[in-house]
Amino acid sequence: MVKINKNYLKLPGSYLFSDIAKKVNAFTSNNPDKKIIRLGIGDVTLPLAPVVIDTLHKSVDEMGKQETFKGYAPDLGYEFLRNAIVENDFKARGVNIKADEVFISDGAKSDSGNIGDIFDVDNVIAVCDPVYPVYVDTNAMAGRTGDYDAATSKWTNVIYMPCLEENGFAPVIPEKTPDIIYLCFPNNPTGATISKDKLQEWVDYANKVGAVIIYDAAYEAYISEEDVAHSIYECEGAMTCAIEIRSFSKNAGFTGTRLGYTVVPKELKVDGVTLHSLWARRHGTKFNGAPYIIQAAGASIYTEEGKKQIKEMVGYYMNNAKIILEGLKDAGYSVSGGVNAPYIWLKTPTGMSSWQFFDHLLNEAHVVGTPGCGFGPSGEGYFRLTAFGSLENTKEAIERIKAM
Amino acid sequence: MVKINKNYLKLPGSYLFSDIAKKVNAFTSNNPDKKIIRLGIGDVTLPLAPVVIDTLHKSVDEMGKQETFKGYAPDLGYEFLRNAIVENDFKARGVNIKADEVFISDGAKSDSGNIGDIFDVDNVIAVCDPVYPVYVDTNAMAGRTGDYDAATSKWTNVIYMPCLEENGFAPVIPEKTPDIIYLCFPNNPTGATISKDKLQEWVDYANKVGAVIIYDAAYEAYISEEDVAHSIYECEGAMTCAIEIRSFSKNAGFTGTRLGYTVVPKELKVDGVTLHSLWARRHGTKFNGAPYIIQAAGASIYTEEGKKQIKEMVGYYMNNAKIILEGLKDAGYSVSGGVNAPYIWLKTPTGMSSWQFFDHLLNEAHVVGTPGCGFGPSGEGYFRLTAFGSLENTKEAIERIKAM
């Protein structure tokens, strides 16, 4: 008699975005004349860059001709893409990652979920709170998180590292020692970063206690400040304790095009076994590569033209972020993020819960955002707005919020 | 201190295709004047169909314009694709699968590996022997297969169902009761199928003992005989015991384009829990959809034009299969497959092991195939040739084999 993975039954319902949709639908049917502005989800809105479109057309043509048709891709991904990554994302920053330490994938969500496969069930994870929910949910599915306590909105066997206004939204090294530490900088949802020196402390700590850091750098392209590391490998010793996950979704608008990569340095060993060999085995057995045309498109963003074009896209969104950040400050809100990230994190006005502020914003300004409590218990009393809308909508949303 | 998933260390080295490559490279450097013909790997060689190329170009253009740009895809995949699948792959065969029971993915390899996530570690799997290695390897990674015994090339906690010449390469219901049964028809590597009546026996058995069948129908498009089911759901009662995995790789040449889907009927329940709800959660948490342009391309093969074009591709490969099958029969080999599948499975001549025949074929005919032992212990003494080469090469390879 077949038995299911009972860990799935422990997961609380994932209703955040469906609850938001329900509330928005109800508002719209009661107020058909009101124009809603959505600054809620983390999805991009600008079209793909011209260089990406050109490359897609060219590589589609290759797939239509016998002589240039491509079947199964190499296990790690095409070398042309891995070389471009190494050259631009790492060598250019003085980091000596090798092309065969880079694994091309269909995106950072898959990688940050699947990476758990190579670790034992018996590991304790530490996460920033609030944070991207995929880290905790996928570990819960694997049976690594204990039980869910609805009263506290916490799992019994997860180390939560609260990131609050009082600590500058930066995690503090926890009392209990974790085995696996998830760090995401710039952070989703707070938009916070930590300095390179602070990141170095995490690397040193992980090496000292024998922990592995899963470093999610999906928002790296939004970093504008000098003392923030773009890659954890800019820190000394990170090669022996950190796995880094990258995405083409937010820098190049690939949310619907799907491409990412994960770096597993060969120096990273546990009991003499390289995590590289485990991930290579997982990658080769449970995945068959990202499409050739998408890998070609990904490589095009590393050309001179490509770099210029995606910088413009990021600049467009960061201009929105600035408008939101400064507008909310003017309006008297306590806000953070928005400088090195496309997310603005605001503290709800006195006494309001995240959901109360959601309703308030929807009813008074017809603007949709995301309640902070959806990202972890320490997100309660906070609210996320994103810079991925159009300039016009962003401006109008802020005018409306100011007038509330 | 972090702990790795030690199950990975139990996996024997996966050297089949690298050993083949080494032998071929050695031969080539010793015989630079000899032309090698490769009928070894299961990768397609024909370019993508014109309708697919056209659709890719059109959808790439959509991604380049603000008004038609697509970000994150719906969790289950685009409805236009799921509707086309339901209409053509199921309704047309009298099968009542609903669009929300279809999960679009990046391919059958990912799905057949990842589906294990929703089952408990404590389940015993049964597999055809020989078979596509991903089923056993991914279960080994999850800790479901016991230990590997190098002497027998078997895992201690796997039920092997030998598929040999004497049983027509069809599995027999095993003595010990499995919890999860992997069936792949038409089979890779043997090319064998079973009749719809025989498949019905498996469905009845699974329902009786409370087992789940993971049905891999990746080669469905190659079925030419009337009494062979294209979908397991053509059998009565399959909705309550079977998950079906499909691929666009072999019917439409998407090996390097990546698209597949998995059907989990809502009627399929274990202890009152629908497997659909578990897979939906897994799919939504650890995957972010196949690219929009690839989903659009996938839908194009269901148009009248598309159906005609991919039928031609399959016909081209099946003509190769016929040439191989008949040529080898003429040459006195004991062969099977090749009628409902692009794989021809031959028994090695008296006393030769799979690898000895590999060397013989390489040295005498300069033809590369795949040793049957690479697909499981019962593959020893057999050899796989594939119909995915060009017509010219296929013809020449057979002439050379006949002349050996």
Q: What is the mean pLDDT of residues B168-197?
A: 97
Single-letter amino acid, residue B71:
G
Question: What's the confidence (pLDDT) of residue A16?
Answer: 85
How do residues B186-195 score in pLDDT, each as one tens digit? 999 999 999 9
Strands (E) located in B151-258: 154-155, 158-162, 180-184, 212-216, 242-247
Q: Inter-chain contact B286–A134, Cβ cutoff 8 Å?
A: yes
B24 part of contact set with chain A, CB < 8 Å: no
Mutation choice for B interface testing from A18, A76, A258 by most B CBs within 10 A? A258
A176 part of contact set with chain B, CB < 8 Å: no
Tell me which chain B residue has its CA closest to the CA of residue A9: B278
Counting one residue from chain A and one from chain B, the pairs whose CB atoms sit within 8 A come to 237
pTM of the model: 0.97
Q: Is the pLDDT of residue A356 over 90?
A: yes
Q: A111 vs chain B: nearest CA distance in angstroms?
A: 8
Q: Which of residues 304-363 of A touch B (CB under 8 A)?
A: none
Question: What's the confidence (pLDDT) of residue A397?
Answer: 97
CA–CA dist A162, A169 (Å, integer): 8
Q: Is the pLDDT of residue B14 over 80?
A: no
CA–CA dist A248, A157 (Å, integer): 32
Q: What is the mean pLDDT of residues A7-28?
A: 90
Nearest to B294 among A69, A285, A291 (CB): A291
Q: Which residues of chain A neighbour B292 with C-beta distances below 8 Å?
A: 256-257
Residue A341 Rama label (left phi>0; alpha psi -120 to 50; beta):
beta
CA–CA dist A98, B243 (Å, integer): 40
Q: Inter-chain contact A1–B122, Cβ cutoff 8 Å?
A: no
Q: Which of residues 88-147 of B touch A (CB under 8 A)?
A: 106-107, 109-110, 113-114, 117-120, 122-123, 134, 137-138, 141
Q: Is the pLDDT of residue A18 over 90?
A: no
Question: What's the confidence (pLDDT) of residue A95?
Answer: 98
- Give the orientation angle of helix B354-365 with respect to helix B391-402, to 10 degrees: 100
Mutation choice for B interface testing from A114, A124, A288, A295 by most B CBs within 10 A? A288
How do residues B118-171 score in pLDDT, each as one tens digit? 999 999 999 999 999 999 999 999 999 999 999 999 999 999 999 999 999 999
Single-letter amino acid, residue B230:
H
- Closest by CA to B160, choosing from B143, B150, B145, is B145
A66 part of contact set with chain B, CB < 8 Å: yes
Residue A42 near residue A389 (C-beta atoms within 8 A):
no
CA distances from B244 to B88, B247, B260, B318 (A): 15, 10, 11, 24
Question: What's the confidence (pLDDT) of residue A399?
Answer: 97
